[in-house]
Amino acid sequence: MLFALVFVLLLPLVVLPVALFLKNLKEFSPATSDPARIREAEREAISVCIPARNEERSIANSLESILQSTHPTYEVLVLDDHSEDRTREIVESYSKQSERVRLVTSNPLPPGWNGKQHACWQLAQQAKHPTLLFLDADVRLAPDALTRCIAEQQLRGAPLISGFPLQETGTLAEKTLIPMMHYVLLCYLPLDRMRSTTKPEFAAGCGQLFVAQREPYFTCGGHQAIQQSRHDGIQLPRAFRRHGFRTDLFDGTDIARCRMYETTLQVMRGLLKNATEGIANPKLIVPFTILLVGGNLLPIGLLVSARYGKSSIFVLVLLGALVLMTWIPRVLAAIRFRQSIGGALLHPIAIAIFISLQWIALIQRQLGAQVTWRGRI
């Protein structure tokens, strides 16, 4: 009787996220390559805005990829945010080689501002084209990426859209934890509901790649409206939605690629840095702990307990099926988004580490401690 009750309680925690993932996977479409839309998009000019602080290892590759773009009219603005390495020197060399590239020197960081948001706000004010592409300095684009981003925005009719690049991974920590961004997004955010409303609670995005229309961007305050935020992936769409603008998402796997972190420590600090503006807040952390632990770890614990408790074959088969179901999103995501299969097999470990980091981030915030990033709080 107890087993039946526990099984009934766990079943929706496992089945509903898998069902939503399968539904969302169909709607999380790649940037359009429809020829008619591409021709229309080619008539639109775009400003690529790149905030750069201590990016000497990645900025050259990013600029090289953008300068191979097939889009007719674009400019590239790179803001040197008081870098302490060769970032400025590298960008200057590219600006001398191509008139498309322009180096922007940052003003001093005002009190209360996050560095990236301040950099993006300055870039938007310097940009001259009606479409703004905010791009992290470690993202490399395919030659047709600019055109397809514009076409995707025109197709969706949203003033702000966000693409999720291919996430390149090297270390085991990256392979295990970085794919959690797709897992949480597609298992717990109904994309059809997101598209049918402008409510801020349905806001989502990837801070690595945002495409914004200039007028709505300034109407809602753009990055100035989220000046204290460290997580523009969520907060910038919320700023648009608070002003009644729609936002949307698309799969950017085949037009952009990025390696966010290179060490286990960077992965952990990166997840901690963004956590408190996502799941690690008092309103969400308990529900998400129940959803993630109950839908992924408890079935495994129950299966182990049943196995050593000498339960019937029927019980073991039921629990085994439930456990196998928890892997479906990670395995399918690994195939669709070119992620590590090995990392997908470590999904329960990823869940345990991910939810632990959320609690650590919340406790740190309550104690007044903050994770430093690129030498800043």
**Domain count of the fold of the chain:** 1
Tokens of 181: 């961004």
Does the structure show a pLDDT above 70 at 1?
A: no
pTM: 0.94
Q: Residue 220: inside a domain, yes or no?
A: yes
pLDDT of residue 371: 67
**Residue 342, in any domain of the structure:** no
Which residue in 297, 124, 86, 290 sits closest to 222, CA to CA? Answer: 124
208 pLDDT tier (thresholds 50, 70, 90) = very high
The residue segments making up the domain with residue 195 are 28-171+189-260
CATH of the domain at 231: 3.90.550.10
- Which tens digits make up the pLDDT trace of 107-165? 999 999 999 999 999 999 999 999 999 999 999 999 999 999 999 999 999 999 999 99
What letter would DSSP give residue 202? G
Residue among 122, 128, 124, 130 at smallest CA distance from 100: 128
Neighbouring residues of 96: CB distance < 8 A, sequence distance ≥ 6: none
Q: Is residue 156 part of a domain?
A: yes
Q: Measured between alpha carbons, how far is 117 from 121 in angstroms, rounded to an integer?
A: 6
In angstroms, how far is the first alpha carbon of the chain from the final one? 52
Mean pLDDT of the chain: 94
Does the residue 48 lie in any domain?
Answer: yes
Beta bridge partners of 105: 80
Closest listed residue to residue 370, CA positions, set 237, 273, 254 = 273
Sheet with 131-135: list strands edge to edge.
Answer: 101-105, 74-80, 46-52, 131-135, 209-213, 160-167, 247-258, 139-141
The pLDDT score that the predictor gives to residue 289 is: 96
- pLDDT band per the 50, 70, 90 thresholds, residue 368: confident
Report yes or no on 13 lying in a domain. Answer: no
State how far the Cα of 170 lies from the Cα of 157, in Å rounded to an integer.
Answer: 36
Q: Parallel, antiparallel, or unpaired: how do β-strands 139-141 and 247-258 relate? A: antiparallel
Residue 4 has pLDDT above 80, yes or no: no
With respect to residue 196, please indicate whether it lies within any of the assigned structural domains: yes
Nearest to 358 by CA among 286, 298, 299: 286
Q: Does residue 275 fall inside a structural domain?
A: no
| pLDDT (tens digit per residue) in 62-118 | 999 999 999 999 999 999 999 999 999 999 999 999 999 999 999 999 999 999 999
Residue pair 207/260 in contact (Cβ under 8 Å)? The answer is no
CA distances from 177 to 264, 323, 351 (A): 10, 19, 8
Q: What is the pLDDT of residue 2?
A: 64
Would you say residue 288 lies in a domain? Answer: no
pLDDT digits (tens, 9 = 90+) for 285-340: 999 999 999 999 999 999 998 888 777 888 888 899 999 999 999 999 999 999 99
Q: Which amino acid is residue 238, in one-letter code?
A: R
Give the residue from 17, 2, 5 showing the smallest Cα distance to 290. Answer: 17
253 Cβ neighbours under 8 A, 6+ residues apart: 30, 164, 165, 166, 336, 337, 338
Average pLDDT over residues 167-187: 97
Q: In 10 A of CB 363, how many CB atoms?
A: 11
Q: Which amino acid is at 105?
A: T
